[in-house]
Structure 1
Amino acid sequence: MRPIIGITTVCKNENADLFTFLNYNYSKSVVLAGGTPILIPLGGEEDDIKNYIDIIDGLLLSGGEDINPLFYGENPISKVMYTSPARDEYEKKLYSKALEKDMPVLGICRGIQFMNSVSGGTLYQDINVQCDKSNGHNPRGNPKCNLYHTVNILRKSKLFNVFGEEEIKVNSFHHQAINRLSDEFIISAKSPDGIVEGIEHIKKSFVIGVQWHPEYLSAIYPEFLRLFEAFVLESSKFKRENK
């Protein structure tokens, strides 16, 4: 049986209606890696969150809105874009339940930022404004499947076990990034300008975040599919051992 991967969704208000949706590349990457994706929409009570956690074998925290700076104890600056405080709070509950079970978690873009900020870390609300050393991480007009800059990977890390190299090239389209790292994580990857590109939980079996978007690359570059395959494999182990 394929493991079931729950994927969080983007929330958007439009004409007084709230929509929840997901970029197809996330679910496609999970399928290519051998998993069965289900979407986790915003909403529901504690029992609903527990039901999702009981159903899924791995949690994928997807990209999307900026995280509300109030969520990690800061006032927003003018460069903060669309936020969804309701999503922040809902995913906090999901993530907490997943950690309690030591369920595999993969965070992508917003996902890595969320994992850090919900665990006591902070973010650069806009790296171009708040981080002098940054060297352009959101190039205008750059196709999302283009490899844009290099990332240096810590040899003693799960990411190194996935990629087998200390340097890879990744795509990039984000204006926020990790500032102060949570005590619960180690940095497993950085860009040459020092921006955090990968983190791993110190105590949990497989809780990894990446700043780039491997879902746009998995069908083109085998090394990026390997990240999803490692996540799905860990989710399969979790399924066998817990269900």
Structure 2
Amino acid sequence: MRPLVGIPCHAGVGAESERPIFYNNRAYVHAVERAGGVPILIPILDDLNGLNTLLPRLDGLLISGGIDVDPRNYQEEPHPRLGRTNPKLDDMEIELVRWALQENIPLLGICRGMQILNVALGGSLYQDLEELYPDSLKHPNWELPRNHIAHTIAVEPGSRMAEILGESQIPTNSLHHQGVKKVGEGVTVSGRAEDGVVELIEVNGPHFMLAAQCHPEELHSEHPAWARLFKAFIQACEESALRKVERVETLTASAV
């Protein structure tokens, strides 16, 4: 059974029509599909109660990259270098993270997705690394190809990420200007850049809740370690789907 993986959308305007649209990059969809999952795009709902109908049907969540997280979610005022935000998107993705944790649904966070995972669990962010993190590398390489290798990540020995990635030093792209500052409750740092900026995190416990600050969806076809991350995520989603089937069978048998 191929698992269903929800991917939240962003809000924007169509380049040709100039009409309001929901969208996300194809790279996330293709990475999930090639790893064996079935991606489902989730629009930003006006009424988050609508998630109650959708979420029980999902076997996993991928929280993608995108715009900045509103700092009011971690009790800070906006910095002058803060980029565009969308509080409605923040609200929905924070709700998704908390649901996934409560229901033991696998979650993979990418770039903004790592940041929203950390914030949802009580952590905070550097609103702009260049301004607020002394001696940082150049992390926002938006002018370069998205698969450009900008630096390496030192993976924490003994971490779940180390087990999955299978390497102690991972080449990575870098397309962000914000980063994790205070880690959230139950969050462990499992990888850092050469300058100490947090690049990988995982949530403690048996559930699959991992995140990368980079964009592995742009790297998995060239770098096997990142392909292994997507494979591990989809495997966890398959196990999630199987648990649902077993629960239904148990309930059916007990009702007979």
Report the CA distance between 1:206 and its aligned residue. 0.5
Whole-angstrom CA distance in 1 between matches of 2:120 and 2:42: 19
Q: How large is the Cα RMSD of the aligned pairs? A: 1.6
Report the CA distance between 1:241 and its aligned residue. 1.0
Query: CA-to-partner distance for each residue in 1:35-67, whole Å, 9 max, x for gaps?
Result: 000001100534421222111100000111100
Letter in 1 for 2:163: N
Report the CA distance between 1:233 and its aligned residue. 0.1
Q: Structure 2 vs 1, CA of residues 147 and 124 (structure 1 numbering), >3 Å: closer, same or farther?
A: same
Whole-angstrom CA distance in 1 between matches of 2:46 and 2:98: 15
Q: Which runs of 5+ in 2 are unaligned?
A: 246-256
- What SS does the corresponding residue of 1:209 show, helix, strand or coil? strand
2:27 paired residue among 25, 28, 50: 25
* Contact 1:53-1:98 at 8 Å conserved across structures: no
Query: CA-to-partner distance for each residue in 1:177-219, whole Å, 9 max, x for gaps?
Result: 0011112200000001000001100124110011000011122
* Contact 1:49-1:93 at 8 Å conserved across structures: no
Q: Tell me the equivalent position of 1:11.
A: 11
Query: CA-to-partner distance for each residue in 1:46-92, whole Å, 9 max, x for gaps?
Result: 44212221111000001111000111110001111110000001112
* Contact 1:133-1:194 at 8 Å conserved across structures: no
Q: Structure 2 vs 1, CA of residues 17 and 83 (structure 1 numbering), >3 Å: closer, same or farther?
A: farther
Whole-angstrom CA distance in 2 between matches of 1:16 and 1:164: 45
Q: What is the percent sequence identity of the aligned residues?
A: 34
Q: Tell me the equivalent position of 2:220.
A: 218
Q: Tell me the equivalent position of 1:177.
A: 179
1:161 paired residue among 144, 160, 163: 163
Q: Between Structure 1 and Structure 2, whose CA radius of gyration is higher?
A: 2
Whole-angstrom CA distance in 2 between matches of 1:183 and 1:140: 31
Whole-angstrom CA distance in 2 between matches of 1:235 and 1:45: 26
1:56 paired residue among 52, 55, 58: 58
Q: Structure 2 vs 1, CA of residues 212 and 104 (structure 1 numbering), >3 Å: closer, same or farther?
A: same
* Contact 1:9-1:42 at 8 Å conserved across structures: yes
1:190-205 correspondence runs (5 A): 190-205=192-207
Letter in 2 for 1:171: N
Whole-angstrom CA distance in 1 between matches of 2:199 and 2:116: 13
2:94 paired residue among 92, 95, 116: 92
How many residues align? The count is 243
- Calculate the TM-score normalised by the size of structure 1: 0.95
Whole-angstrom CA distance in 1 between matches of 2:92 and 2:20: 15
Pick which of 139-148 and 83-92 moved more: 139-148
Q: Which runs of 5+ in 1 are unaligned?
A: none
Whole-angstrom CA distance in 2 between matches of 1:132 and 1:12: 33
Whole-angstrom CA distance in 2 between matches of 1:16 and 1:23: 18
Query: CA-to-partner distance for each residue in 1:95-147, whole Å, 9 max, x for gaps?
Result: 22111111000000000000111111110000000000311111353211111
- Calculate the TM-score normalised by the size of structure 2: 0.90
* Contact 1:72-1:121 at 8 Å conserved across structures: yes
Whole-angstrom CA distance in 2 between matches of 1:44 and 1:140: 31
